[in-house]
Amino acid sequence: DTPAEKYEYQAEVSRLMDLIVNSLYSNKEVFLRELVSNASDALDKLRFLSVTDPNLLKDGGDLDIRIQSDKDNGIITITDSGIGMTRQELVDCLGTIAQSGTAKFLKALKESKDSGADSSLIGQFGVGFYSAFLVSDRVVVSTRSPKSDKQYVWEGEANSSTYTIREETEPEKFLPRGTCLTLYLKRDDKGFAHPERIEKLVKNYSQFVSFPIYTWQEKGYTKEVEVDEDLADAKTDGQDGQTEKKKKTKKVVEKYWDWELTNETQPIWLRNPKDVTTEEYNEFYKKTFNEYLEPLASSHFTTEGEVEFRSILYVPSMAPMGKDEMVNLKTKNIRLYVKRVFISDDFDGELFPRYLSFIKGVVDSNDLPLNVSREILQESRIVRIMRKRLVRKAFDMILGISMSENRDDYEKFWENFGKHLKLGCIEDRENHKRLAPLLRFFSSQSDQEMISLDEYLENMKPDQKDIYYIAADSVTSAMNTPFLERLLEKDLEVLFLVDPIDEVAIQNLKSYKDKNFVDISKEDLDVGDKNEEKEKEMKQEFGQTCDWIKKRLGDKVASVQISNRLSTSPCVLVSGKFGWSANMERLMKAQTV
């Protein structure tokens, strides 16, 4: 017998534990969701690894989660037959956390104070295990990895900066494989150990876990037992005067305890879309991605033919917190399954281009090999076809939002993810046709509400050939630019590109439905009212003035010309046809400083 060894938590963990134990009081029940989700992850890992190494399952093939609760003593045990942890993994996983985890969690807590999210956010930051201390004084983790021939016990207490690890020695606690967590509940939280409460929480939180979850429940069945009833006082048979005994039956309830399957294990994406309600899709989304807001849109589809897969995709209603990570490649937003086996949620643009990395969902393929690796994913023709279809479906979904009766929906989408689509215009030439109709801009005729390019086209003058735009740093400064004068006078609409990325996006698109985008700040803008006679006259009259101004300004300008583009201002500085616009110059300057 080796004695228990004492370890100090990493400082980050101590801070987190302190917070969990001493200041989170609402939504404590999320601990069960987090621990079940860890059990499910551990089973996923085992199932995945066993594809290439079937030996891992030699100690019994059942992959499940069992939750037992003892309400009298306030104890809950959660057992999974998953991948378990080695001694070193116990130290690495349950004593340290990624540096940023706590900081981000704290920040999110602060930001969401008013929305009532609190403890329920915990799982998003890779610190879910510690939620056990929301309700427990003491937590014991007994675990056995198939890589190790020994089972180890991790033990930690609330309000302690150390934990211990020892070898498991009690034979009745030996596991063939996997992990058993024992929670000794705080006095005020013992109510969580009621079997009915556990059942309710599992049904509510873990409905979409794809392994069976059994809970230990008291059951009863009624049986009929025969009772002898002495009928001596009853009327007797007059003839022989004997007492008559009559058999009678009585119903009694026999109580016993047994495991009960508590969740539904058929994955929602395998069901017929006709039979799934919007509420179910939304619930699945919230449970799977730890979201507390409903998605803006969802799409459930099956593709057949060349490549077969099923998928449910979602558009979130909000960009993730911490907007600085606007286009984050590694989002864990897409969960890939092969024949129902979870493979990975760690993608790097293989299934969606990075500008669509905000899309969340599950994809289940029957055509990929179960032992698919990152390299295979990157090379695979099947994945390329899948990607194409997924992207198309994502666009359909976004288009759906844009056509919704409720204009607010798309405004919300645009506010959160508009930048992503503009980035798409720059990075994904192939999908320009799908991207362009989704763009929104303010314009000289709509400075309060954004319009689409289609709305712009509808509003074009019969002889108008181009789509006009001006880049500026705000709607107000766009409104006041002298470039606008003649166009306003002629009632021509001009798009206002007020987001720095807008202009680059538009220049990448070049045209929309055969109309070119034209920057009204560039020289020789033709708004369709050229009068050659008059121009010649003007040139003659003012030619010398121009020469004189050019001489005075020297290298500061490329040329000084007569033009018909102004109506009230005497002159304007324009950009050369092939040069950068003033706005681009501003941007470039901002970048090089």
Out of ligand ADP, Mg ion, none, what residue 85 binds, judged by CB under 5 to 8 A for its kind, is ligand ADP
Cβ closer to ligand ADP: 161 or 575? 161
Residue 282, Ramachandran bin (φ over 0: left; ψ between -120 and 50: alpha; else beta): alpha
Count of residues touching Mg ion (by CB under 5 A): 2
Length of the chain: 593
Do residues 143 and 179 make contact, with C-beta atoms less than 8 angstroms apart?
yes
Which residue from 74, 84, 128, 295 is in contact with Mg ion, where contact means CB under 5 A?
Answer: 128
- DSSP letter string over 181-200? EEEEE-GGGGGGG-HHHHHH
Residue 513 CB coordination number (10 Å): 11
Task: Give me the least distance between CB of 128 and Mg ion, in Å please.
Answer: 3
Out of Mg ion, ligand ADP, none, what residue 157 binds, judged by CB under 5 to 8 A for its kind, is none
Contact segment (CB under 5 A) with Mg ion among 61-69, 122-130, 199-207, 362-370 equals 122-130
Cβ closer to ligand ADP: 62 or 526? 62
Out of ligand ADP, Mg ion, none, what residue 519 binds, judged by CB under 5 to 8 A for its kind, is none
Q: Which residue is nearest to ligand ADP (CB)?
A: 128
DSSP SS3 for 344: strand
CA distance linking residue 404 with residue 410, whole number of Å:
8
Contact segment (CB under 5 A) with Mg ion among 37-45, 390-398, 425-433, 533-541 equals 37-45
Cβ closer to ligand ADP: 133 or 410? 133
Cβ closer to Mg ion: 102 or 311? 102
- Residues forming contacts to ligand ADP in the complex (CB under 6 A) are 34, 38-39, 41-42, 80, 82-85, 93-94, 126-129, 179
Q: List CB contacts of 443: < 8 A, sequence separation 6 or more.
A: 451, 456, 493, 494, 495, 496
Q: Where are the alpha helices (H) located in 453-499, listed in sequence order? A: 453-458, 475-479, 485-489
Cβ closer to ligand ADP: 92 or 111? 92
Cβ closer to Mg ion: 288 or 298? 288
Long-range contact set of residues 549-557: C-beta below 8 Å, sequence gap at least 24 = none
Task: Give me the least distance between CB of 67 and Mg ion, in Å please.
Answer: 16
Cβ closer to ligand ADP: 147 or 388? 147
CA distance linking residue 44 with residue 501, whole number of Å:
41
Residues in region 422-461 near Mg ion by CB under 5 A: none
Q: Where are the alpha helices (H) located in 72-169, listed in sequence order? A: 87-94, 99-111
Out of Mg ion, ligand ADP, none, what residue 269 binds, judged by CB under 5 to 8 A for its kind, is none
Cβ closer to ligand ADP: 184 or 483? 184
Residue 38 found at the interface with Mg ion (CB under 5 A): yes
Which of 152, 144, 148 is CA-nearest to residue 175? 144
CA distance linking residue 356 with residue 245, whole number of Å:
83
Out of ligand ADP, Mg ion, none, what residue 82 binds, judged by CB under 5 to 8 A for its kind, is ligand ADP
Give, for 252, the enclosing helix (H) or strand (E): strand 245-261
Out of Mg ion, ligand ADP, none, what residue 42 binds, judged by CB under 5 to 8 A for its kind, is ligand ADP
Query: Which residues of the chain form contacts with Mg ion (CB under 5 A)?
Result: 38, 128
